Amino acid sequence: MIKERLLDLPNEIENKKTTLLSMQTHLRNEKEKLQMWELTELASISSEVDGNGKAKYSNDTKRKAELQRRIDISEEYAGIEELVKKLEGKVDILNIQLEKLLNEQGNLRAICRLEGRE
């Protein structure tokens, strides 16, 4: 039984690592979407002018406040942000599962070494 499990574990570990890599890539892509959304909005905010042709948001504090206001009301941003949080949770769970498999593999190897000495 231990031998069979030791032979199965490398495939399980590989599958878990592959899933984890895929999930991390998806997470990274969604985070990039958030950054691009923010940069696009910030560019828009920076280029807005009032009726006199002067910058509507003339300093960094005003620009940041307007960006935050837009973030707060954007359903698109909120949806991506929610997905990012879910993906982060899934990545954490996959890391825990992978660590468990690696620990199991190490424990089974140790048991085999101990049994081989007896």
Q: For the chain, give every domain's residue range.
A: 2-117
Other C-beta atoms lying within 10 Å of the C-beta of residue 98: 17
Note whether 87 and 23 are within 8 A (CB): yes
pLDDT digit string, tens, across residues 23-77: 999 999 999 999 999 999 999 999 999 999 999 999 999 999 999 999 999 999 9
Tell whether the model's pLDDT for residue 118 goes beyond 70. Answer: no
Note whether 101 and 16 are within 8 A (CB): yes
Confidence of residue 117 (pLDDT cuts 50, 70, 90): low
pLDDT at 104: 97
Confidence of residue 5 (pLDDT cuts 50, 70, 90): very high
8-38: burial string, b at 16+ Cβ within 10 Å, e else: ebeeebeebeeebeebbeebeebbebbeebe
Burial class from Cβ neighbours inside 10 Å (0-12, 13-18, 19+) for residue 73 reads exposed
